[in-house]
Amino acid sequence: MKPAHRAIDTRIVIHHSSVKKNVTITLDDDVARWARIRAAELNTSVSRLVGEMLREKMLDSKKYDQAQREYLSQKPLKIRKRGARYPRCEELYGR
């Protein structure tokens, strides 16, 4: 008896394992209504919508903090020599 021919599944499946936390939030009626509508427009759940919005805020905050650290780590720019007058706005900004 011949062995049965079996098809090989060539689909790639990627599994991401991550720990997620459940939280309970309280929303005003208007906010909850907006969130349900917005989630439906994006074909997602309110939970995922809120999670993505919070992630965006977190990443924006991290980027801002990094940019601030980089800016504040620079040495001050001297705009005048000792004893000289400060430059006028027109001189600085080419107005």
Tokens 């780590």: give the residue: 73
Q: Where are the alpha helices (DSSP H) in 1-95?
A: 29-41, 46-72, 89-93
Is the pTM of the predicted complex or chain greater than 0.85?
Answer: no
What are the Cα distances from residue 22, in Å, to 25, 26, 47, 56, 90? 10, 13, 9, 18, 57
For residues 3 and 29, give the distance between their C-alpha atoms in angstroms, rounded to a whole number: 63
pLDDT score of 76: 85
Residues 53-80 pLDDT 10s = 999 999 999 999 999 999 999 998 777 7
